[in-house]
């Protein structure tokens, strides 16, 4: 059924906008050109053959070894016609520079928090988003933790850690660097660069 | 239960006994304090289930004079930190602790509160003792209510003996082990 959807899309937009399509076990996917992201989304919502009235999810992916590193993925559903579609677009270069894409909030209001989360975790900017702030982390946080080059165990504390006894003379039994070790020190891929 | 190094010199007078008792003022005060712990539950994650179990009639934390929760830190004596504390929540925890009036104690309930547990990442505080001083650590993910009561009794002993060093609740003998031993024994005698 949704194979038909992919045909509708390719027919309507051509191969310069719908870069490729594939379906894996019935999961149809269209890879789009990021510049026409919102245009295609609006078409999918409004066309009587598509009627994608629900944005199920929107997230990011970091393909660290590719020249276009970041990717935005959206999952759409039509409650009326009962079909689903996944659309993807690559943004940014190999250093995540210029990772900007149109916001889908004007199309589906529910995209608001998803896009804030994707911005928070990957640093992808959404053009036209009404309120693009961090949603899960705090303003003081530097970097974007779900990018694959973020050191997995690097914390950015908001309150300075206790080093010695306090006014009541109560000591921490664990040293400042202890806790949560699980022998991760021998894992090379987690090593922090100084 | 953890071990105590300093014995307390208070003694309860038995029925039928007459006479007088001597104690030090501080110890009398400590004795009174240990049976009137008002708790502030700082409950954030799955450990809350065991915390509720401990407070409910089956385990009945009221037996130890610690049943009254106070939802303002200014009226409470014990801060129960139950569950995972994220980096974003750490300033709130610290502020709650600072608002409590002296004397005050902190119990780290569960592995997450004690050392961060398996959350080895950018978002989680690696143990609340990085931010506030802890008196008793209760390990377990989540700890059984028995372990929680052990922790509470350990804290009471510490209050009575005016001991400020942190203590860790030791694991109890697992009752299920009895069955295993029994089965082994019957298998041995059969074979
Ligand atoms: S110690 Fe285990 S049960 Fe308790 S909060 Fe952490 S993960 Fe949940």
**CATH number of domain containing B90:** 3.40.50.12280
Q: Which domain covers residue A26, as residue numbers? A: 2-151
| ipTM reported for the complex surpasses 0.85 | no
If one compares B181 and A129, the residue with the highest pLDDT of the two is: A129
Query: What is the Cα–Cα distance from A172 to A107, expressed in whole angstroms?
Result: 52
Question: Which pLDDT score, from 0 to 100, does residue A116 have?
Answer: 94
Q: How distant, in Å, are the alpha carbons of A124, A133, B84 from that of A144?
A: 10, 13, 22
Q: How distant, in Å, are the alpha carbons of A65, B140, B172 from that of B48?
A: 42, 13, 21
Q: If DSSP codes are grouped into helix, strand and coil, which group holds residue A57?
A: strand
Contact status, residue A135 vs residue A58, Cβ threshold 8 Å: no
B41, B54, B84, B138, best to mutate for ligand 1 pocket (most atoms within 8 Å of CB): B84
Chain A partners of B124 at a C-beta cutoff of 8 Å?
155, 180
Q: Is residue A186 part of a domain?
A: no
Query: What is the Cα–Cα distance from A140 to B123, expressed in whole angstroms?
Result: 13
B182 lines ligand 1 (CB under 6 A): no
Q: What is the pLDDT along chain A (194 residues), one digit of tens a residue?
A: 556 888 898 989 988 888 888 888 878 899 999 999 999 999 999 999 989 999 999 999 999 888 899 999 999 999 998 889 999 999 988 888 889 999 999 999 999 999 999 999 999 999 999 999 999 999 889 889 999 888 877 888 888 887 766 666 666 656 545 544 444 444 444 455 54
Query: What is the Cα–Cα distance from B108 to A9, expressed in whole angstroms?
Result: 56
* CA terminus-to-terminus distance, chain B: 38
Counting the structural domains of chain A, the total is 1
Q: Is residue A115 part of a domain?
A: yes
Query: What is the Cα–Cα distance from B28 to B17, expressed in whole angstroms?
Result: 20
Give which of A176, A180, A181 to mutate to test B binding, by max B Cβ within 10 Å: A180
Helices (H), A16-134: 37-46, 111-122
Residue closest to A141 by CA, chosen among A115, A118, A121, A163: A121
The CATH number of whichever domain residue A106 belongs to comes to 3.30.460.80
B120–A176 CB contact, under 8 Å: no
Query: What is the Cα–Cα distance from A135 to A145, expressed in whole angstroms?
Result: 13
User: C-alpha A47: how far from its chain's center?
Assistant: 26
Query: What is the Cα–Cα distance from B129 to A175, expressed in whole angstroms?
Result: 10
Q: Is residue B83 part of a domain?
A: yes
Q: What confidence tens digit (pLDDT) does each residue in B35-53 have?
A: 889 999 999 999 999 999 9
Minimum Cα–Cα distance from B95: chain A residue:
A159
Chain A partners of B123 at a C-beta cutoff of 8 Å?
136-137, 145, 155
Query: What is the Cα–Cα distance from A63 to A94, expressed in whole angstroms?
Result: 9
Counting the structural domains of chain B, the total is 1
A179–B165 CB contact, under 8 Å: no
What's B23-84 look like in SS3? CCHHHHHHHHHHCCCCEEEEECCCCHHHHHHHHCCCCCHHHHCCCCECCCHHHCCEEEEECC
Residue whose CA lies nearest to ligand 1 atom number 4: B47
Q: Is residue B160 part of a domain?
A: yes
Chain B partners of A163 at a C-beta cutoff of 8 Å?
none
Q: If DSSP codes are grouped into helix, strand and coil, which group holds residue B16?
A: coil
Q: Is residue B188 part of a domain?
A: no
Query: What is the Cα–Cα distance from B139 to B157, expressed in whole angstroms?
Result: 18
Q: Is residue B108 part of a domain?
A: no
Q: Is residue B64 part of a domain?
A: yes
Q: Is residue B156 part of a domain?
A: yes
Q: Which domain covers residue B94, as residue numbers? A: 39-100+128-173
Q: Is residue A95 part of a domain?
A: yes
Report the gap between the CA of A61 and the closest CA in chain B (Å). 18
Q: B179 pLDDT exceeds 50? A: yes
Q: How many CB atoms lie within 10 A of CB B96?
A: 18
Question: Which pLDDT score, from 0 to 100, does residue A41 have?
Answer: 94
Q: Is residue B71 part of a domain?
A: yes
Sheet holding B136-138, edge to edge: B39-43, B78-82, B105-109, B136-138, B167-168
Minimum Cα–Cα distance from A184: chain B residue:
B120
pTM over 0.90: no
Query: What is the Cα–Cα distance from B189 to A46, expressed in whole angstroms?
Result: 78
Residue closest to B169 by CA, chosen among B155, B156, B150: B150
Which residues 6+ apart lie within 8 Å of B152 measured at CB? B37, B61, B64, B66, B107, B136
Q: B110 pLDDT exceeds 80? A: yes
Encoded tokens for A149 = 């080059």
């Amino acid at each position: 059924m949704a194979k038909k959807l992919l045909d509708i899309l390719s027919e309507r937009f051509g191969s310069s906008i719908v870069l490729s399509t594939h379906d894996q076990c019935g999961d149809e996917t269209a890879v789009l050109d990021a510049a026409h992201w919102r245009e295609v989304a609006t078409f999918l919502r409004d066309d009587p053959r598509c009627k994608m009235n629900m944005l199920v999810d929107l997230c990011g992916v970091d393909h660290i070894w590719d020249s276009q590193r970041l990717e935005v993925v959206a999952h759409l559903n039509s409650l009326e016609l009962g079909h689903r579609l996944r659309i993807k677009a690559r943004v940014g270069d190999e250093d995540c520079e210029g990772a900007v894409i149109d916001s889908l909030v004007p199309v589906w209001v529910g995209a608001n928090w998803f896009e804030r989360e994707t911005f928070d975790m990957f640093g992808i900017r959404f053009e036209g988003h009404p309120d693009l702030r961090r949603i899960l982390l705090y303003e003081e946080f530097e970097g974007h933790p779900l990018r694959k080059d973020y050191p997995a165990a690097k914390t950015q504390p908001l309150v300075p850690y206790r080093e010695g006894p306090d006014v009541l003379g109560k000591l921490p039994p664990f040293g400042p660097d202890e806790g949560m070790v699980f022998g991760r020190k021998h894992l090379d891929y987690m090593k922090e660069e100084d | 239960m953890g071990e105590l190094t300093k014995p307390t010199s208070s003694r309860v007078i038995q029925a039928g006994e007459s006479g007088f008792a001597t104690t030090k003022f501080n110890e009398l005060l400590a004795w009174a304090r240990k049976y009137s712990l008002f708790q502030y539950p700082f409950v954030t994650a799955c450990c809350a289930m065991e915390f509720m179990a401990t407070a409910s009639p089956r385990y009945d934390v009221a037996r130890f004079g610690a049943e009254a929760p106070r939802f303002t830190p200014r009226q409470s004596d014990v801060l129960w930190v139950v569950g995972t504390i994220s980096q974003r929540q750490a300033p709130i925890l610290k502020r709650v602790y600072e608002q409590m009036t002296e004397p005050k104690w902190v119990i780290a309930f569960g592995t997450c509160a004690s050392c961060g547990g398996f959350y080895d990442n950018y978002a989680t505080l690696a143990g609340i003792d990085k931010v506030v001083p802890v008196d008793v650590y209760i390990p377990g993910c989540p700890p059984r209510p028995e372990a929680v009561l052990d922790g509470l009794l350990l804290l009471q002993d510490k209050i009575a003996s005016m001991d400020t060093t942190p203590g860790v609740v030791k694991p109890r003998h697992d009752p299920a082990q009895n069955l295993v031993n029994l089965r082994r024994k019957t298998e041995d005698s059969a074979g």
